[in-house]
Amino acid sequence: MFKKVLIANRGEIALRIVRACRELGVKSVAVYSDADVHAPHVREADEAVRIGPAPSAESYLLGHEIIAAAKKTGAEAIHPGYGFLSEREWFARAVRDAGLVWIGPPAEAIAAMGSKTAARTLAVANGVPVVPGTTEALRDAKEAAAVAEQFGYPVLLKAAAGGGGKGMRVVHSASEIAGALDSAKREAKNAFGDDAVYVEKYIEGPRHVEIQILADQHGTVISLGERECSVQRRHQKMIEEAPSVAVSPELRERMGAAAVRAARAAGYVNAGTCEFLLDKSGAFYFLEMNTRIQVEHPVTELVTGLDLVQWQIRIAAGEALPYRAPFTPRGWAIECRITSEDPANGFLPSTGRINYLHVPTGPGVRWDSGVETGSDVGLFYDPMLAKLIVWGPTRSDAIARMHRALLELTIDGIETSREFHLRVMEDEEFRRGDIEIQWLERRLPSLLEQTPARRDIENAAMAAALIAHHDRQQAVAAPSAVSGPASGASGKTPSAQSAWAQTAWAQTARVESLRTR
Ligand code: MV4
């Protein structure tokens, strides 16, 4: 095992990796920008090295500076986390060339999965189902029209270098195809410097289901089952769960086997994820492979009992996986991404200082966060502050537990996605598992609607806070006049069991407890 690992990341995932290192008896080295001098990941690591100013391009993306920091501190390996340098082939290569160990897949596997068309070709050659379509770039609108006719409308034009939905156009009829091809090419050229575009049959209303795999250096590749990631907005996932209501044990086995074949074909080692579309008929199609640890890895950890980040480190150190059979999920896990965005205002990023943070605890609750009371939230990095993850024996238990945990959560000082998540947990369609990739965008207006009932509860919450404040003022003026937490208006439990009523109650109880301390 390594003695020391450098973590080339920040925020919750950097702290997550520090924790894995500490449990393995491995020393950790953090790197940080000027914006992160006081960040938890810096404080919790055994050592920390400043890289540069706040902008990522001058700090967390400076691969050569990070490699130099590893050399200087005597770290033997680099863990890239997700985002930043995690899927840069050149960086994986540079780490290896510097005589360090890359805690991730070989640079060649990153390259093999980097191009969508190359990954598609690899999948087809290995019996992994892909959406019907071409793999060659389209020459012109005439060819596009001919191919579209062959597969049948609607079709989807996709950038070969693509990702994140850029350079993608749905085309419903022959009359639209020339214009769509032009704009897709232009967008692809701008985003990726490559205007190659190909055609796929457009799959309507699918789910996004992905398979987590682990591969060691000794030829063992296993599937850890699926994650359901359909609750997303503009290609940003908001809520993930494991398993998926749409995946039977038999389908899990077939999707897992397909993911393992794709990983083997790419010469994959370490943790990775194969993304699939799952259509209403139960057919699945390989989209792409993510060659990194993902944000949503904890839901898989909670239903398999495995520590994926520890396994990434163990695999990189040469350890063999002791598992052979694919994993069967136990119970249900859900993750809500808590972001500094204002759902009531088009998810506008919110900035400021976190004045007060109260973190949910209790049975089955996990909080993976990079912030604490006093943290400044700016615009330099991703708006994801934390991940709230829960486990329960069934899906409905997990939803109830997530709702309860969200009620316990208080983040004061900035706008967050907390209220949005509460409303999703209360939503009938979500509770039925009736979700697909367009669900959130369709459902958002009604989720965010300010109904008379919600307004009443909001007013009740404000009244409760005012009453509590008034009580406290009285207690300060005449301490003997107040007998304890059960006194005053806040001593009555609200009868409405809505989120806002419970929040009002929780806020009042919190003020009460501060007063009586
Ligand atoms: C699709 C599709 C429907 N049909 N391909 C979006 C990003 C890229 N990685 C693949 N994407 C899609 N490909 C066919 N043939 C719908 C999407 C898609 C999507 C996929 C996964 C998660 C969210 C999505 C949101 C919109 C569209």
Is 292 a known active-site residue? yes
The answer to whether residue 467 sits within a structural domain is yes
32 pairs with which residues across the strands? Answer: 50
Measuring from each residue's beta carbon to the nearest atom of ligand 1, which residues come in under 6 Å? Answer: 131, 156, 165, 200-203, 208, 232, 235, 277, 287-288, 437
With respect to residue 111, please indicate whether it lies within any of the assigned structural domains.
no
Cα(354)–Cα(361) distance, rounded to whole angstroms? 19
pLDDT recorded at residue 452 = 76
Q: Which residue has the tokens 């894995």?
A: 20
- Going by CA atoms, what residue is nearest to atom 8 of ligand 1? 165
| Final residue in a domain of this structure, among 103, 121, 149 | 103
Give the CATH number, domain containing residue 313: 3.30.470.20
Question: Does any domain span residue 119?
Answer: no
Q: What is the structure's pLDDT at 496? A: 43
Domain count, the chain: 4
The reply to whether 399 and 294 lie within a common domain is yes
Q: Would you state the pLDDT for residue 116?
A: 84
Which range of residues forms the domain containing residue 144? 132-201
Residue 196 sits in a domain of what CATH number? Answer: 3.30.1490.20
Q: Could you tell me the distance, in angstroms and rounded to a whole number, from the CA of residue 200 to the centre of ligand 1?
A: 11
Helix and strand totals (H; E) in the chain: 17, 22
Of 201, 217, 238, which residue sits at a domain end? 201
Looking at the structure, tell me whether residues 263 and 411 fall in a common domain: yes
Are 140 and 272 members of one domain?
Answer: no
Pull the structure tokens for residue 314: 């163990």
Using alpha carbons, list the distances in angstroms from residue 126 to 187, 270, 291, 308.
Answer: 31, 20, 18, 26
Q: Strand 197-201 and strand 155-159: pairing?
A: antiparallel
Mind listing the pLDDT tens digit of every residue in the chain (517 residues)? 999 999 999 999 999 999 999 999 999 999 999 999 999 999 999 999 999 999 999 999 999 999 999 999 999 999 999 999 999 999 999 999 999 999 999 999 999 998 888 899 999 999 999 999 998 889 999 999 999 999 999 999 999 887 777 889 999 999 999 999 999 999 999 998 999 999 999 999 999 999 999 999 999 999 999 999 999 999 999 999 999 999 999 999 999 999 999 999 999 999 999 999 999 999 999 999 999 999 999 999 999 999 999 999 999 999 999 999 889 999 999 999 999 999 999 999 999 999 999 999 999 999 999 999 999 999 999 999 999 999 999 999 999 999 999 999 999 999 999 999 999 999 999 999 999 999 999 999 999 998 877 776 777 777 777 777 777 777 777 765 444 444 444 444 444 445 656 666 666 665 555 444 3
- The CATH number of residue 64's host domain is 3.40.50.20
φ, ψ for residue 51, nearest 5 deg: -100, -45
Which numbered atom of ligand 1 lies nearest the CA of 201?
Answer: 15
> Which atom of ligand 1 is closest in space to residue 131's alpha carbon?
15
| Residue 217 within any structural domain of the chain | yes
The answer to whether 213 and 271 are in contact (CB under 8 A) is yes
For the full predicted model, state whether its pTM sits above 0.95.
no
Of the residues 252, 292, 395, 443, which is catalytic? 292
Cα 199 to ligand 1 centroid, rounded to whole Å: 13
Q: Which of these three, 201, 220, 245, is where a domain ends?
A: 201
Residue nearest atom 12 of ligand 1, based on CA coordinates: 165
Q: DSSP characters for 235-295?
A: TEEEEEEES-TT--HHHHHHHHHHHHHHHHHTT--EEEEEEEEE-TTS-EEEEEEE-S--T
Residue 13 lies in a domain: yes
For ligand 1, atom 17, the nearest C-alpha belongs to 165
Q: Are residues 237 and 333 in the same domain?
A: yes
Is 231 found in the same domain as 273? yes
pLDDT of residue 136: 87
Nearest CA to ligand 1 atom 19: 437
Tell whether 418 and 463 lie within a shared domain: no
Shared domain for 285 and 398, answered yes or no, is yes
